[in-house]
């Protein structure tokens, strides 16, 4: 397990991602789709810090998304917790963390997230077409949401290195 | 390593369990007061960030528009002069119309809507549904079912009211449906929201005239929305001889993503069928 970027900086990044997604993302849509900044951050976190961090921040971020969106409370938190845990385990086997590898690893995670949310909503009786959601929302939406993943990852890694250096210095 | 793997699985199981419990409580309606309270709690943060976003965007737009401002000004002056002439003609027509209505004994149900302006402070973060959060709630007289409009037409209705904020379900949401009528031909149908902010008008009987560019308005049937609000314009008609009904794609009159304010209709009470 990696050291992690520290709870406070991650919470701040999550808050920024959440605000970007609710206030700014609807203004920069592509074919009516918004980038999923929170999901992108959770993917980056699970790749960097492993499944424990992925599950925890996935749950926190998901709950916040549920509160600010119209989906029933628990749907996004379920999908992001699941995604954070699974991708945390998958990423443990990654040999490289170059931007292309990160993007390729993030894409299926982001498709899975939107598909899980759509599945839950359909199961709860919302009139959503799963095929339409996958082809017109999950796949193009994941392409858009993959863009911030490498950027998030490098910020988190920088924060992790800083917090580790700070700890070493405080031991001296 | 095995310990960590187990720990992460246990934690994930607990968190997934809490999520499923929340969904069950939401479905049973037990979570409604809590959701209202949490909505109120998130309002101040959302208000500040939306204000900041709008300011940043305004500065960007101002820079963008600086070059074309002079041409725009000249065009607007000319348009203003033309509009003044049209307003005078319209005023005359209104007086004549009023007189005719009085002669006929015609009385409109809702001559003017009494509206409550509200600022949009947050938007649905998902790509699957379409919601807005506004900065007016029960303390300002907002109630569930109130209709939200923009100067261009219908936006949606309030589905959850906190004390200082409310959630508005947009007509473009897949869970939204509105009884509608084509303004020119009076062909009736139902307008449904689609993922990605699109609208589809279904159940238009075969043989009814409908064409690209036709304006679609609320029919007032069902009692959830007042009659005569603009829903959008027809952009595509799908007709098949083997189908019972025609379908039309409707373009909403406003890009909700760029909308900063809306108005709630105060003097229309949606019908409740119990």
Q: Among A4-8, A65-69, B108-112, which stretch is predicted with the lowest mean pLDDT?
A: B108-112
CA dihedral of A160, A161, A167, A170, whole degrees rounded to 10: -140
Confidence of residue A18 (pLDDT cuts 50, 70, 90): confident
Q: Among A4-8, B175-179, B199-203, which stretch is predicted with the lowest mean pLDDT?
A: A4-8
Instruction: Report the mean per-residue pLDDT for chain B.
Output: 82
Put simply, the answer to whether A33 touches B31 (Cβ < 8 Å) is no
Of A71, A73, A81, the CB nearest to B16: A81
Q: Which fold has domain A7-161?
A: Arp2/3 complex 21 kDa subunit ARPC3 (1.10.1760)
- For residue B1, the model assigns a pLDDT of 53
- B63 versus B166: the higher-pLDDT residue is B166
Reported as a single tens digit per residue, the pLDDT across B65-110 is 776 787 888 888 888 888 887 887 787 778 777 766 655 544 444 4
Put simply, the answer to whether A72 touches B5 (Cβ < 8 Å) is no
Reported as a single tens digit per residue, the pLDDT across A146-171 is 888 888 888 888 888 877 776 656 55
What's the gap in Å between the CA of B139 and the closest CA on chain A? 20
Percentage of chain B surpassing pLDDT 90?
Answer: 18
Q: Given CB atoms, is A135 within the 8 Å cutoff of chain B?
A: no
What's the gap in Å between the CA of B84 and the closest CA on chain A? 34
pLDDT above 60 (res B29): yes
Put simply, the answer to whether B127 touches A26 (Cβ < 8 Å) is no
Of A25, A50, A71, the CB nearest to B129: A71
- Mean pLDDT across B4-30: 85
What's the gap in Å between the CA of A86 and the closest CA on chain B? 9
- For residue A55, the model assigns a pLDDT of 92
- A58 versus B54: the higher-pLDDT residue is A58
- Mean pLDDT across A136-146: 84
Q: Among A119-123, B8-12, B147-151, which stretch is predicted with the lowest mean pLDDT?
A: B8-12
Put simply, the answer to whether B128 touches A19 (Cβ < 8 Å) is no
- For residue B4, the model assigns a pLDDT of 62
Interatomic CA distance for residues A112 and A90, integer angstroms: 14
Q: Given CB atoms, is A78 within the 8 Å cutoff of chain B?
A: yes
Q: Given CB atoms, is B131 within the 8 Å cutoff of chain A?
A: yes
- For residue B106, the model assigns a pLDDT of 42
Backbone angles phi, psi at A101, to 5 degrees: -65, -45
Q: Among A28-37, A64-73, B40-49, B152-161, which stretch is predicted with the lowest mean pLDDT?
A: B40-49
Put simply, the answer to whether B12 touches A81 (Cβ < 8 Å) is yes
With CA atoms as reference, the chain A residue closest to B16 would be A78
- For residue A50, the model assigns a pLDDT of 86
Of B11, B38, B127, the CB nearest to A56: B11
Q: Which residues of B touch A50 (CB under 8 A)?
A: 4, 8
C-alpha separations of B124 from A64, A70, B156 in Å: 12, 7, 14
Instruction: Report the mean per-residue pLDDT for chain A.
Output: 82
> What's the complex ipTM?
0.81
List all residues of chain B from 24 to 53 with a beta carbon under 8 Å from chain A: 25-27, 31, 35, 38-39, 42, 45-46, 49-50, 52-53
Confidence of residue B268 (pLDDT cuts 50, 70, 90): confident
């Amino acid at each position: 397990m990696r050291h992690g970027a520290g709870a406070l900086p991650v919470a701040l990044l999550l808050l920024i991602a959440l605000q970007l997604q609710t206030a700014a993302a609807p203004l920069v849509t592509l074919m009516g789709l918004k980038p999923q900044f929170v999901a992108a951050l959770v993917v980056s976190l699970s790749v960097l810090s492993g499944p424990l961090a992925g599950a925890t921040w996935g749950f926190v971020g998901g709950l916040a998304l549920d509160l600010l969106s119209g989906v029933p409370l628990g749907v996004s938190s379920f999908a992001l917790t699941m995604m954070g845990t699974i991708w945390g385990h998958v990423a443990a086997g990654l040999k490289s963390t170059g931007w292309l590898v990160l993007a390729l690893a993030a894409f299926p995670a982001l498709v899975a997230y939107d598909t899980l949310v759509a599945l839950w909503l359909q199961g709860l009786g919302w009139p959503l077409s799963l095929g339409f959601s996958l082809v017109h929302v999950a796949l193009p939406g994941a392409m858009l949401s993959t863009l911030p993943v490498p950027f998030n990852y490098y910020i988190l890694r920088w924060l992790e290195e800083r917090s580790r250096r700070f700890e070493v210095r405080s031991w001296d | 390593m095995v310990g960590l793997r187990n720990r992460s699985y246990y934690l994930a199981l607990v968190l997934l369990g809490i999520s499923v419990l929340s969904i069950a409580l939401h479905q049973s309606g037990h979570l409604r007061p809590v959701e209202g309270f949490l909505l109120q709690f998130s309002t101040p943060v959302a208000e500040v960030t939306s204000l900041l976003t709008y300011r940043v965007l305004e500065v960007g737009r101002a820079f963008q528009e600086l070059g074309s401002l002079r041409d725009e000004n000249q065009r607007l002056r000319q348009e203003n002069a033309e509009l003044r002439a049209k307003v005078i003609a319209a005023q005359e027509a209104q007086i004549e119309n009023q007189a005719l209505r009085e002669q006929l004994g015609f009385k409109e149900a809702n001559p003017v809507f009494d509206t409550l302006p509200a600022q949009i402070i947050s938007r649905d973060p998902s790509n699957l549904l379409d919601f807005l959060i506004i900065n007016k709630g029960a303390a300002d007289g907002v109630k569930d079912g109130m209709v939200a409009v923009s100067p261009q037409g219908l936006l949606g209705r309030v589905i959850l009211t906190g004390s200082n904020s409310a959630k508005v379900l947009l007509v473009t949401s897949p869970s939204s449906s509105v009884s509608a009528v084509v303004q020119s031909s009076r062909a009736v149908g139902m307008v449904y929201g689609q993922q990605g902010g699109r609208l589809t008008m279904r159940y238009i009987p075969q043989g009814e005239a409908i064409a690209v560019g036709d304006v679609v308005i609320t029919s007032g049937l069902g009692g959830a929305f007042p009659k005569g609000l603009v829903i959008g314009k027809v952009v595509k008609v799908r007709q098949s001889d083997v189908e019972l009904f025609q379908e039309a794609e409707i373009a909403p009159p406003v890009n909700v993503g760029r909308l900063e304010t809306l108005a709630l209709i105060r003097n229309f009470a949606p019908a409740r069928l119990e």
